[in-house]
Structure 1
Amino acid sequence: MVPGTPPAPQALPPGTPPNGTVPGAPPAALPDQPAPGAATTPQATLPPTRPPEPVATDLQTAPVPAGQVGAVDAQVQRLQAPVEVRPVTAVQGERIDRRPDFALPPQAQVVERVGDRDILSIVGAGVAGAAAGAAAAYFIRSDDNDRLSRGSRDVYYERLPRGLSRETIVRENGVQIVTIENEYGDVIQRSRIAPDGRETVLFYDPYAEDDTRPNYYADVGADLPPLRLEIPEDRYIVDVRQPDEELYYETLVAPPVETVERIYSVDEVRRSPRIRDKVRRIDLATINFAFGSDQIAQDQVENLQALADAVKRVIDENPAEVFLLEGHTDAVGSNVANLALSDRRAEAVATALTEYFEIPAENIVTQGYGEEDLKVDAQGPNAENRRVTLRRITALVKPVETAGAPRQ
């Protein structure tokens, strides 16, 4: 390895299975106690981190053997201490009759509600990844509840200690999608539980209760040095006019281009362009949205086939993979309208991948960014700016399997 290659990560505590999969655990007897055998220590606090470094070029460019994407990612995570992932059902909840009403973050206000999405404004806050207004920053709280629960046979909610809540979606086949959220609706953990009780952790925030972490508005990547890219840009940002399954697959299984200092919540990743830049992206130039529209033309759905096949290959190898679909617009219209439109575009592609190509909905998260990241620097209508981007963010949002650990 050349200088800059991160050391191998420390092993997870004994008994912690690889691949984000944990055995099912019974709920505790009391609502404020963990399950028998579950971790009883407080949530982890943010550890000191070393500055990130570019991942060695040979690791970035070497082919990833089938089924080894987690082992390669583990060479890039530079965690200062092991992270123990708790079962999503470790704490017993109190059943409630509907989804809780989430609080607004401090100093935030709803500028507009567009459909089922809130556009928030935080006066005086420089929110990363938000379209900036004259005196406020705007961002959209994406909500994937309807997309995940479509076609389910049951959905129920529980109140947990410390202001958390838990949603359980029960699919027709008995699979449960369980999500824990904080008082603001930010996701703390999402897991898929099979009918036999086996749990696959999709993402997990070990620092959710750390009072010393950056506040809600902070860009957690703001203090990181500029990204140093050591591979060709066309391998870092894939933008091809013809669908290419092999290129998509190679891009998705490639490790982050920079070491990962700690685990981030999925919402921290959504809100920080610098953290998202740690992983490669695919610009879906094969899908073009009409001006002001979030509809995928029927004759373009087949253009998603190659991408869907690549994503499915990755998930078949490791069912715990997580992908972020980002929606974008051109610069025509208001920031608020464009944020809502871009979020709907990301959701439209996510829905198509599930309904047409059977990609599990829970493996995809979405977020709209409006006009903040123009591909073409143009203030007028521009089709290339009306796009969706895909990234594999697994290594950012949970501890991945230790290199060499047995697969289960």
Structure 2
Amino acid sequence: MTFRSRLFATVALPVLSASMIATPSLADALVKPFEVAQDSGDQGQPTDEELLLKKQQEEQRRAAEEEAKRQAEEQQRAADEEAQRQAEEQKAAEEQQRKADEEARRQAEEQKAAQEQQKAAEEEAQRQAEEQKAAEQQKAADEEAQRQAEEQKAAEEAQRQAEEQKAAEEQQKAAEEEQQRQADEQKAAEEQQKAAEEEQQRQADEQKAAEEQQKQAEQPAQDDAGQPAVTGEAPAETGTDQPATAEEGTDQPATAETGGEQLPAEAQTGEGQAGATETKEAVPPVTETLSEDEKQEIAKDPGQTDETVVLPVENGAAVLDSDKDADNSGGQASREERRKRREEQRAQEEVPLPESDDSAQAAIPEDVREAVPQKIEAAIKEEGQRVDKAPAFEVPATTNIVNNTVINNTIVNNNTTVNNVDNSNNVTKVNVVEKVDNRTVLSVGDRLIVRSDDRPRLRRDSEDVYYDKLARGRVRETIVRPGGVKLVTIYNRYGDVIQRSRVGRDGREYILVYAPELEDDAPRPDLIDVGYELPPMRLRIPVSDYIIDTSSEPDRDYYDFLAEPPVERVERVYTIDEVKHSARLRDKVRRIDLDTITFATGSAEVPMSQARTLRKVAEAMLKILDKDPGETFLIEGHTDAVGSDKSNLVLSDERSDSVANLLTEVYGIPPENLQTQGYGERFLKVRTQAAEQQNRRVTIRRVTTLVRPVARAD
């Protein structure tokens, strides 16, 4: 029931009822006299007084009714007003209650918000405290790491100095021993000379005595036993022409194979070690006429010059390895000849620089590209004869190469330059100089080459390896790895790689190397430098975009650098061995010099402290392999010029192998994506015959575009 209804029931209804009850009673009172009069008048007509009284009574009745009605209306109105007042008071009370409720709710919400703010403030204070604590811990950890790094650096520096000191002491000791030996030999030679002179004098005295005796006897000379039958001067032996022998304690044989002849084996001495027997010839004279500032300007834009571009450092060698070869063989005359040929090339319309690997191989016919997958699949499925063990590859007896130094279609011989020489009929013997572990040193013409067998490195952690003999003297090797991954390589009879591919767990095949040139029925050994067929290289990009030194550019984006295409067009797909044996081909691709790895003199070991410096380069290589698992990187090893050519050649190959193994074992780069080759002291970075750290280095190039057809760009 509403407030209005309750008010009407308790106030207005009783008043109205009372009025209605009072009205009939009043009427009855007014009617009574009339009724009495009527009763008495029944006996006659009413008098005027009675009529007047009656009229007055009627008027009073009406007045009473009106008064009652008015009172009832006033009471009703008062009741309504009271009800309205009470309703308004009730409404006001409800409004006040609502406001009170809202105020209470607001205060509750404010209290809740205050509590939440308090809680948030406490959490923020706790978070800040934790962050402060973490920051202090991080700072302490950073300081500790910095301290350890400084201690490590100091220890490495101390170790390096100790090694250098030890090497210097050993060199000093060796020099002193050599000096003492020479002094002893000199003394022995003098004593022998003195003894020879005394013997000569004795023989002369005896001769003179014999002549006198003969003269006195005046008879023919008799062959007495006490008389010397031969007279004359006996040569003194100095011992200076004795052949060098291997160092005591080494496992090297006393003789080395040289194509069937037995020659004394040279002592195994690397850069800076005692016992080197070769006398180094002076570097051919090259006149550097440019100032350091001019070299810097040329390095920024080599395409504007026809001169040989050199590294803008003191005694800097040529930037391109093919130019190094030319400088070493022909000196200034070769530089001038190459300058003229570059000038002729620049006068012609130049081919634009490749913008991608695909555009770099624009000269390779489309049918060659399209036939690759079918040919490789056919070779993998080709029926062969299973053999029980790994075959031994042949060493070629001869190869087609001139017995002079061939430099990019130019032969330098006795300071006479001859261009466009047809050397197809020249035959050069190939001799085995020495075998060291899985390496063979060959002499080809006037050059030594080291060839290593990388199969042990590829077979590491394999589950199974088997071989099949194929037609035309080829051999197929299948290496099975955990998970069913297979590495399939086909070699020719000389061990040159014809093709190599990896088959993944999903059966997808990735081509690493494909050399259609070796598919001929009469394969030739890849021992010649096919770069002589090409004109001299013209570098048309800044040197800083062609070479990266990891020590001076540790924050460089190595991925973007390695992913760049070759710096000139690629004429055809070359074999990996052709690339290894041609500086001119390798010059087509950029290189990273890992000069943060500072090899100790005569050592191929990479300290773990320096192995960490390869992390960014390794990550860039892995990023490239994630995009294309068929990429190929060439790891090149180098030495300085101290030591014998042969020992430095073997040492440099060991260095390239050490870095390749490190990239696989520490950073997880598959071994089949890495090719290795040592070049000894052939490509010095700084032109000096003395010990030089910058020349003891390893270089990385991405050679994929040179050794296999790449997919066409969409």
TM-score, normalisation: structure 2: 0.45
Q: 2: distance between equivalents of 1:79 and 1:375?
A: 33
1:375–1:99: structure 2 CA closer, same or farther, 3 Å change rule?
A: same
**Aligned counterpart, 1:79:** 364
Q: 1: distance between equivalents of 2:610 and 2:683?
A: 24
Whether 1:282 and 2:592 are equivalent positions in the alignment is yes
Question: Once the 2 structures are TM-superposed, how far is the Cα of residue 208 of structure 1 from its aligned partner?
Answer: 0.7
**Aligned counterpart, 1:252:** 562
Whether 1:359 and 2:650 are equivalent positions in the alignment is no
Q: 2: distance between equivalents of 1:189 and 1:209?
A: 10
Question: Once the 2 structures are TM-superposed, how far is the Cα of residue 195 of structure 1 from its aligned partner?
Answer: 2.6
From 385, 392, 396, the counterpart of 1:94: 385
**Aligned counterpart, 2:352:** 56
Q: 1: distance between equivalents of 2:553 and 2:659?
A: 15
Correspondence list, 1:85-234, <5 A: 85=372, 86-87=376-377, 88-107=379-398, 108-122=430-444, 125=445, 136-210=446-520, 216-234=526-544
Q: Percent identity?
A: 50
Where is the strand percentage greater, Structure 1 or Structure 2? Answer: 1
Question: Once the 2 structures are TM-superposed, how far is the Cα of residue 240 of structure 1 from its aligned partner?
Answer: 3.5
1:200–1:53: structure 2 CA closer, same or farther, 3 Å change rule?
A: farther
**Aligned counterpart, 1:5:** none
Q: 1: distance between equivalents of 2:528 and 2:692?
A: 31
Alignment check: 8 A CA contact 1:54 1:258 kept: no
1:166–1:245: structure 2 CA closer, same or farther, 3 Å change rule?
A: farther
1:180–1:142: structure 2 CA closer, same or farther, 3 Å change rule?
A: same
Question: Once the 2 structures are TM-superposed, how far is the Cα of residue 119 of structure 1 from its aligned partner?
Answer: 0.4
Question: Once the 2 structures are TM-superposed, how far is the Cα of residue 197 of structure 1 from its aligned partner?
Answer: 2.3
**Aligned counterpart, 1:304:** 614
Q: 1: distance between equivalents of 2:470 and 2:522?
A: 22
- Find the structure with the greater CA-based Rg: 2
Question: Once the 2 structures are TM-superposed, how far is the Cα of residue 99 of structure 1 from its aligned partner?
Answer: 1.0
Q: Which amino acid aligns with 2:390?
A: R
Q: Which moved more, 1:263-272 or 1:164-173?
A: 164-173
Q: 2: distance between equivalents of 1:245 and 1:143?
A: 35
Q: Which amino acid aligns with 1:271?
A: H
**Aligned counterpart, 1:322:** 632
Question: Once the 2 structures are TM-superposed, how far is the Cα of residue 196 of structure 1 from its aligned partner?
Answer: 3.0
Alignment check: 8 A CA contact 1:54 1:230 kept: no
Correspondence list, 1:30-69, <5 A: 56-57=352-353
SS of equivalent to 2:631: coil
Alignment check: 8 A CA contact 1:182 1:188 kept: yes
1:352–1:257: structure 2 CA closer, same or farther, 3 Å change rule?
A: same
Question: Once the 2 structures are TM-superposed, how far is the Cα of residue 351 of structure 1 from its aligned partner?
Answer: 0.6
Alignment check: 8 A CA contact 1:201 1:320 kept: yes
Alignment check: 8 A CA contact 1:214 1:220 kept: no
Q: Which amino acid aligns with 1:106?
A: A
Alignment check: 8 A CA contact 2:640 2:681 kept: yes
Question: Once the 2 structures are TM-superposed, how far is the Cα of residue 81 of structure 1 from its aligned partner?
Answer: 4.5
Q: Which moved more, 1:85-94 or 1:307-316?
A: 85-94
Q: 2: distance between equivalents of 1:55 and 1:266?
A: 25
1:53–1:315: structure 2 CA closer, same or farther, 3 Å change rule?
A: farther
Q: Which amino acid aligns with 1:269?
A: V
1:162–1:53: structure 2 CA closer, same or farther, 3 Å change rule?
A: farther
Q: Which amino acid aligns with 1:120?
A: L
Q: 2: distance between equivalents of 1:312 and 1:53?
A: 38
TM-score, normalisation: structure 1: 0.77
Q: 2: distance between equivalents of 1:394 and 1:101?
A: 28
Question: Once the 2 structures are TM-superposed, how far is the Cα of residue 76 of structure 1 from its aligned partner?
Answer: 1.0
Whether 1:263 and 2:547 are equivalent positions in the alignment is no
Question: Once the 2 structures are TM-superposed, how far is the Cα of residue 106 of structure 1 from its aligned partner?
Answer: 2.3
Q: Which amino acid aligns with 2:482?
A: E
SS of equivalent to 1:371: coil
1:213–1:392: structure 2 CA closer, same or farther, 3 Å change rule?
A: same
Alignment check: 8 A CA contact 2:492 2:523 kept: no
Unaligned segments of structure 2, at least 5 residues:
1-347, 399-429
Q: 2: distance between equivalents of 1:112 and 1:217?
A: 17
**Aligned counterpart, 1:384:** 694
Question: Once the 2 structures are TM-superposed, how far is the Cα of residue 242 of structure 1 from its aligned partner?
Answer: 4.8
**Aligned counterpart, 2:679:** 369
Q: 2: distance between equivalents of 1:379 and 1:172?
A: 48
Question: Once the 2 structures are TM-superposed, how far is the Cα of residue 209 of structure 1 from its aligned partner?
Answer: 3.0
Alignment check: 8 A CA contact 2:396 2:525 kept: no
Q: Which amino acid aligns with 2:705?
A: A
Question: Once the 2 structures are TM-superposed, how far is the Cα of residue 213 of structure 1 from its aligned partner?
Answer: 8.7
Q: 1: distance between equivalents of 2:597 and 2:436?
A: 24
Q: Which amino acid aligns with 1:56?
A: P
Q: 1: distance between equivalents of 2:489 and 2:607?
A: 32
Unaligned segments of structure 1, at least 5 residues:
1-51, 61-71, 126-135
Alignment check: 8 A CA contact 2:518 2:524 kept: no
Q: 2: distance between equivalents of 1:399 and 1:327?
A: 26
Q: Which amino acid aligns with 2:650?
A: A
Whether 1:394 and 2:704 are equivalent positions in the alignment is yes
Q: Which amino acid aligns with 1:80?
A: P
Q: 2: distance between equivalents of 1:160 and 1:212?
A: 14
Q: 2: distance between equivalents of 1:53 and 1:82?
A: 28
Q: 2: distance between equivalents of 1:212 and 1:158?
A: 19
Correspondence list, 1:327-338, <5 A: 327-338=637-648
How many residues align? The count is: 329
Alignment check: 8 A CA contact 2:390 2:467 kept: yes
Alignment check: 8 A CA contact 1:241 1:285 kept: yes
1:201–1:164: structure 2 CA closer, same or farther, 3 Å change rule?
A: same
Q: Which string of whole-angstrom CA distances, capped at 9 and with x for unpartnered residues, describes residues 7-42 of structure 1?
A: xxxxxxxxxxxxxxxxxxxxxxxxxxxxxxxxxxxx
SS of equivalent to 1:390: strand
Q: 2: distance between equivalents of 1:170 and 1:209?
A: 25
User: Which structure is higher in RCO with an 8 Å CA cutoff and minimum separation 6?
Assistant: 1
Q: Which string of whole-angstrom CA distances, capped at 9 and with x for unpartnered residues, describes residues 289-341 of structure 1?
A: 11011100121010010110010010011111111000011111111111111
Say what the alpha-carbon RMSD is for the aligned residues. Answer: 2.0
Q: 1: distance between equivalents of 2:555 and 2:492?
A: 38
